[in-house]
């Protein structure tokens, strides 16, 4: 392989565009033998098979990386340790132009090694835990990270951006103003705007002003901040439940009989007024339908509810719940409404237990459609 060490001495530094978009020297480029200086331990052009044996594995890796980049491949080299990235830069900077025969030999060797690989392991605890994610318990994964002292690899800000908004909000509230400003600057604009709006006024103003002072922060400082936050968040104990206590209690009471629900809420009011208030907001009952559901969404809800169940729920909606039944009947088509009214008359009385079960089926269907994004509940006025 011949290395053209100083192309600038010709008065023109050849680029990839000058040589058919690649570092391979084509036969159309005329170069004087005096300008081609064989590198130490590297044979002259025309002896590719012998040349490839003298190239180090680092040099071959640099050749493959350069070829892939020249072909437009997107490589995630940032996941490599910084020492390897630096060594790759040094190897690529030492090389110049490579003849086609040498390149072909290196490619063939590379392809042969790739084809001989039967199974590859990630190497390191963090990579292994990523593969086993979902197959082992979160507590085991957290314990292994702590025991091994695993440090985050890759871009820490990508991991931070995927965290729950509540966790990000907690960081903005508890960390220093400068750290909060850097975090806010690294998030998507829509996410940052939403989080900033949830901060108390004085804190939001301080963080917003601190963002204006971040222009002079060095990139390595921003990365260290990201790694520190990521490491800190990575040591948090795994959550035993997907939902918070308010959501869990609210979901249980949603499916409970009215008498049980009222009794539990009265008891919560005496023990923890704030928690009881939060649970009341999380509860959605049959009585909440007129205030929380848009009339145009009622047909979507009744469509997937068995008509016999719907009739039973509407028959049981007497007294304070009678307006709810009229709301539902008024939101569906006139023909369907008249048909259901006739069935209600023919049905007769419904046992309270059966009526509550039918109503619970309707409220469950509403929650399912809301979770699926097919309908949107009107915000409770008390949530403001």
Whether the predicted pLDDT of 145 surpasses 80? no
Give the pLDDT confidence of 150-160 residue by residue, as tens digits. 555 567 888 78
Whether the predicted pLDDT of 284 surpasses 70? yes
Provide the pLDDT confidence category of residue 235 given band limits of 50, 70 and 90: low
Whether the predicted pLDDT of 362 surpasses 60? yes
Residue 102 in tokens: 């040498």
Give the pLDDT confidence of 248-267 residue by residue, as tens digits. 888 888 777 778 888 898 88
How confident is the prediction for the chain on average, in pLDDT?
79
β-bridge pairing 2-3 and 37-38? antiparallel
Give the pLDDT confidence of 86-121 residue by residue, as tens digits. 999 999 999 888 888 889 999 999 999 888 888 888
Better-predicted residue by pLDDT, 7 or 146: 146
Better-predicted residue by pLDDT, 148 or 246: 246
Report yes or no: 45 and 88 within 8 Å, Cβ to Cβ: no
Q: Report, as an integer, the average pLDDT of 42-62.
A: 66
Exposed/middle/buried for residue 127 (C-beta within 10 Å: 0-12, 13-18, 19+): middle
Provide the pLDDT confidence category of residue 343 given band limits of 50, 70 and 90: very high
Residue 199 in tokens: 């901060």
| Phi and psi angles of residue 161, each rounded to the nearest 5 degrees, phi first | -65, -25
E strand or H helix at 3: strand 2-3
Closest CA to 38 of 22, 55, 26: 55
Provide the pLDDT confidence category of residue 163 given band limits of 50, 70 and 90: confident
Angle in degrees, 0-180, between the axes of helices 245-254 and 273-282, rounded to the nearest 10: 60
Provide the pLDDT confidence category of residue 232 given band limits of 50, 70 and 90: confident
Whether the predicted pLDDT of 43 surpasses 60? no
The verdict on pTM exceeding 0.75 is no
Listed range (41-45, 174-178, 191-195) with the worst mean pLDDT: 41-45
pLDDT for the residue 148? 65
Listed range (34-38, 138-142, 191-195, 221-225) with the worst mean pLDDT: 34-38
User: H helices then E strands: how many in the chain?
Assistant: 21, 2
Would you tell me how many other CB atoms lie within 10 Å of the CB of residue 253? 22
Provide the pLDDT confidence category of residue 7 given band limits of 50, 70 and 90: very low
Which residues are within 8 A (CB) of 353 and not within 5 positions of it... i.e. 6 or more apart?
Answer: 257
Report yes or no: 363 and 285 within 8 Å, Cβ to Cβ: yes
Buried b (16+ CB within 10 A) or exposed e, 200-210: eeeebeebeeb
pLDDT for the residue 149? 58
Provide the pLDDT confidence category of residue 5 given band limits of 50, 70 and 90: very low
pLDDT for the residue 223? 86
Q: Report, as an integer, the average pLDDT of 51-61.
A: 80
Measured between alpha carbons, how far is 335 from 332 in angstroms, rounded to an integer? Answer: 8
Q: What is the DSSP letter of 374?
A: S
């Amino acid at each position: 392989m011949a290395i053209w060490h100083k192309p600038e001495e010709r008065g023109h530094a050849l680029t990839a565009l000058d040589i058919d978009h690649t570092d391979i020297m084509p036969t159309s480029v005329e170069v004087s033998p005096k300008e081609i200086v064989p590198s130490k331990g590297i044979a002259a052009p025309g002896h590719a098979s012998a040349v490839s044996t003298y190239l180090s594995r680092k040099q071959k890796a640099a050749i493959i990386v350069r070829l892939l980049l020249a072909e437009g491949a997107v490589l995630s080299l940032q996941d490599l340790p910084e020492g390897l990235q630096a060594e790759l830069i040094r190897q690529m900077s030492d090389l110049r132009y490579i003849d086609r025969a040498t390149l072909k030999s290196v490619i063939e060797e590379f392809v042969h090694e790739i084809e001989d690989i039967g199974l590859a392991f990630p190497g390191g605890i963090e990579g292994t835990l990523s593969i086993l994610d979902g197959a082992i318990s979160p507590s085991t994964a957290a314990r292994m990270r702590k025991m091994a002292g695993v440090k985050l690899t890759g871009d820490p800000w990508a991991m931070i951006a995927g965290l729950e908004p509540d966790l990000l909000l907690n960081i903005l509230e508890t960390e220093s103003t400068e750290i909060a400003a850097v975090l806010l600057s690294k998030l998507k604009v829509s996410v940052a705007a939403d989080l900033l709006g949830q901060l108390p006024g004085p804190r939001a103003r301080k963080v917003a002003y601190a963002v204006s002072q971040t222009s002079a922060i060095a990139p390595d400082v921003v990365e260290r901040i990201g790694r520190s936050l990521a490491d800190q968040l990575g040591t948090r104990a795994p959550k035993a439940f997907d939902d918070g206590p308010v959501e869990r209690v609210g979901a249980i009471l949603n499916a409970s009989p009215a008498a049980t629900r009222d009794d539990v809420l009265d008891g919560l009011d005496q023990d923890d007024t704030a928690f009881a208030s939060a649970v009341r907001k999380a509860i959605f009952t049959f009585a909440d339908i007129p205030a929380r559901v848009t009339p145009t969404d009622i047909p979507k809800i009744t469509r997937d509810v068995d008509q016999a169940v719907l009739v039973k729920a509407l028959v049981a909606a007497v007294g304070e719940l009678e307006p709810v039944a009229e709301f539902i009947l008024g939101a569906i088509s006139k023909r369907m409404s008249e048909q259901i009214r006739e069935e209600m008359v023919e049905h007769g009385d419904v046992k309270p237990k059966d009526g509550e079960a039918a109503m619970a089926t309707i409220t469950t269907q509403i929650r399912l459609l809301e979770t699926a994004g097919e309908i949107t509940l009107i915000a409770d006025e008390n949530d403001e």
